[in-house]
Amino acid sequence: MRAAHVTDPAARPQNHEDASMNMIQIVRGALAVALLAGCGGAFAQDAQGAPSVDSIINSLKAESTEQAQGQTRALRPGAAAMATTAPPSVAKPAKAASINMQINFDFNSDRISGSSEQTMATLAKALVSPQLENRSFTVIGHTDAKGSAGYNKALSDRRAAAVRSYLMEHGVSSARLRAVGKGESQLLNANDPEAGENRRVEIMATGG
């Protein structure tokens, strides 16, 4: 009599479990790749949500200008002999660039809040980088529209000066820094004059 082939019942759940685990690992791997691909831009910020050194540098660095050299390219086939020397290019001054920073201050004060220490340290590190060494910076203080215009202007002056002082204490030359307050005159969100995003410090880079 031919022996019947008996399958161990305990093996089936194990095989099913192994297959399920393999499928879970594959799905997890696919999700990880998708998340990395979809969130690439988010890595410009640190874990606390503050701008990174690189993102600040890229926002404030001078634009590179292409200078034409040699001869102009002939537009017609066989017209190479008619190529002319390009006129000397004139270097244009670098455009101003700016970035808005959410820097927190104590209530009705020009004292920088401890919650913004990492943001300030990152900003100082960016401004002393070799990529920005030829640029000068204006620290511009802004407030919301709560309170009188005169009070807000004075408060923004003091807060801009506080940021300038911090940057000087952390290696940025005073000759490269100036501070000015705009009060509530340049609201970022004019539809909501008292919105938090209006209370900010703007860094404008010039020269270089």
pLDDT tens, residue order, the chain (208 aa) = 455 554 454 444 445 445 444 544 444 444 333 333 333 333 334 444 678 999 999 999 987 543 333 433 333 334 344 444 555 555 565 678 999 999 999 888 999 999 999 999 999 999 999 999 999 999 999 999 999 999 999 999 999 999 999 999 999 999 999 999 999 999 999 999 999 899 999 999 999 7
Q: Answer yes or no: is 134 within a domain.
A: yes
Q: Answer yes or no: is 71 within a domain.
A: no
pLDDT value for 88: 55
Q: Answer yes or no: is 36 within a domain.
A: no
Q: 189 lies in which domain range?
A: 97-208
Q: Answer yes or no: is 80 within a domain.
A: no
pLDDT value for 18: 53
pLDDT value for 183: 96
Domains of the chain: total = 1
Classified as helix, coil or strand, 65 is coil
Q: Answer yes or no: is 3 within a domain.
A: no
The pTM of the full predicted model, rounded to 2 decimals, is 0.65
Q: Answer yes or no: is 189 within a domain.
A: yes
Q: Answer yes or no: is 198 within a domain.
A: yes
Sign of CA pseudo-dihedral 7, 13, 19, 21: negative
Closest CA to 70 of 78, 80, 61, 62: 80
Q: For residue 91, which phi and psi values (nearest 5 degrees)? A: -65, 125
CATH number of the structural domain spanning residue 154: 3.30.1330.60
Q: Answer yes or no: is 34 within a domain.
A: no
pLDDT value for 27: 40
pLDDT value for 51: 86
pLDDT value for 50: 73
54 contacts: CB under 8 Å, gap ≥ 6 = 44
pLDDT value for 158: 97
Classified as helix, coil or strand, 48 is coil
